[in-house]
Amino acid sequence: MSRQADMNKENLPAANMQQPTARITRARAKALGISGGLPPPHPPVKKVSNQVLQPNTKRGSSDDKSADVGSGFQSKRRAVLKEVTNVPFNDLNIKVINEVKLLTSKQMRNVAEKKDMVAPAVYVGPQVQKRKAKATEDMTKPSIKELREITSQLKLMNDLDTEPSIYKIPKVGGMPASMLGKSTLNKVEPTNDETVFDIDSKHKDPRMCSVYAAELYNNLRVTELKWRPSVDYMKTVQRDITQEMRGILIDWLVEVREEYRLESETLYLTVSLIDRYLSKMYIEKQKLQLLGITCMLIASKYEDICAPRVEDFCFITDGTYTKKEVLDMEREVLDVLSFHLSVPTVQKFLRRFILAAQSSYKVPVVELEYLANYLSELTLTEYSFLKFRPSLVAASAVYLAKWTLDQIEHPWNPTLQHYTKYKASDLKETVMALQDMQLNNAARLQAIRQKYRQTKYKSVATLTSQKPVKPLSDMTS
């Protein structure tokens, strides 16, 4: 209300004032320019009364058009200026007025049409803004150094996202600049034994669960101890079967797996189910083959998309067992194992350890993968390997595979040690046992060897190292 009253007072003609205003504003100068000169000192009373009755800048008759137009522009422009002329003159007011004068008539007209959007910030001149900016700069000046450090750290993190993710073991810290190359498979620098590669960073597929890979494999390391079969069940539980019978059964199951093109994990899980069942239940040798096909039936349902039918497993045994016998044995196996089918096998660890081994090559070596799988499958038929943990067997297979392909460079490196959690000295007994199997060409069980002599597996079964494995005293620990 007070603002409107002030505006109404400003809209009164100059005749009602005792003396003219000391200064002429831009609005009044514009009005005078339109009317053609200063208004008369004593205007008619009629016009005064009309203006008093109609203070809201209503337009008069056509003969008074020029004076009314000037009055209307004066009213609007004073509203835009927010009664600048009603405040005492000082240096700040003069600067503000000079700043406002820079506006063109078109800009003032647009501002007048949007009165509600006018903000007090209009009256802030450049000098005031500079003073505020200087005050803000003085307040933030002590933290500029910290901000630059944070910015540099963020830039480094962005660079690491685009470059190969290579990191140091936490106890050492830091990152060698020489490792920040463009290749995604750089070789480990031999001068720095603590450098390891992050083998999970390049997997962008969420199905790979690369973010949780470390936690998943830590859980597998704990689980492999919980669900291990007995290492001496042939002496404590079984009396009618022998180690040789078990080996013959598994060697035959390798051929069955090839016949039905099942997943490799199906074979490993089948052997695990057989050993866990035999660790708890006595079985006659006439039903050993029945146990074998039943465990493969269960494993194929668990691992394969299209598992063979029960009739297929009956057919593969030349009709030795009926469908009812297979289903009855299936119920018994699941009951004895309490439906605990998801157990860590050598294959689960082998996939990750091969990935860690390939990181030391610029181009992945296919022979390394096939050879490691060949050596690990050889352990399935050997009862004596039950005493070794699956993760230890997988690590030893990778070690011997690398040594078979290259006897110049040491097969173990910090990356493998980091992901396998084994030092080279921990692999001594397992590696030596694996090498004995690899060099035993007179073995009676030939299914696995014949399988990996095929060209599609690069004939890795025919590969042997030119030199024996280094003594463990020469291995890095």
Q: Where are the domains of the chain?
A: 2-124, 229-336, 346-474
Residue 103: CA count within 13 A, CB half-sphere:
20
DSSP state of 22: S
- pLDDT at residue 407, as a whole number: 84
- pLDDT at residue 210, as a whole number: 77
Assigned architecture for domain 346-474:
Orthogonal Bundle (1.10)
| Longest CA–CA separation in the chain, Å | 136
Q: Which CATH class is domain 229-336?
A: mainly alpha
CATH fold match for the domains 229-336 and 346-474: yes
Identify whether the C-beta of residue 273 lies closer than 8 Å to the C-beta of residue 328: no
Identify whether the C-beta of residue 232 lies closer than 8 Å to the C-beta of residue 384: no
- Dihedral of alpha carbons 174, 179, 182, 188, sign: negative
If you search the block for the tokens 């060897």, which residue do you land on? 449
- pLDDT at residue 402, as a whole number: 93
- pLDDT at residue 472, as a whole number: 57
Distance between CA atoms of residues 139 and 124, nearest Å: 21
Burial class (CB in 10 A: 0-12, 13-18, 19+), 165: middle
For the chain, 477 residues long, give each residue's pLDDT as a single digit of tens.
Answer: 555 555 555 554 444 444 444 456 666 666 665 555 555 544 444 444 444 444 444 444 444 444 444 444 444 444 444 444 444 545 545 554 455 445 444 455 554 554 444 444 444 555 655 665 665 555 555 455 555 655 555 454 444 444 333 333 333 333 333 333 333 443 434 334 568 888 887 777 777 677 888 888 888 888 888 888 999 999 999 999 999 999 999 999 999 999 999 999 999 999 999 999 999 999 999 999 999 999 999 999 999 999 999 999 999 999 899 999 999 999 999 999 999 988 999 999 999 999 999 988 888 889 999 999 999 999 999 999 999 999 999 999 999 999 999 888 889 999 999 999 999 999 999 999 999 999 988 889 999 999 999 999 999 999 987 777 865 544 544
**Per DSSP, what are the bridge partners of residue 195?**
168
In sequence order, what are the residues at sequence separation of 6 or more whose Cβ sits closer than 8 angstroms to the Cβ of residue 439? Answer: 464
Please report, as a single letter, which amino acid is at residue 212. Answer: Y
3-state helix, strand, coil in the chain (%, to 5): 65, 0, 35
- pLDDT at residue 334, as a whole number: 96
Residue 424 has a CB neighbour count (10 Å cut-off) of 22
Of 118, 457, 85, residue with least CA distance to 258: 457
- pLDDT at residue 442, as a whole number: 82
Distance between CA atoms of residues 377 and 360, nearest Å: 24
Residue 330: CA count within 13 A, CB half-sphere:
17
Q: Cα–Cα distances in Å, from 303 out to 270, 299, 372, 448?
A: 10, 6, 21, 21
Of 342, 253, 334, residue with least CA distance to 303: 342
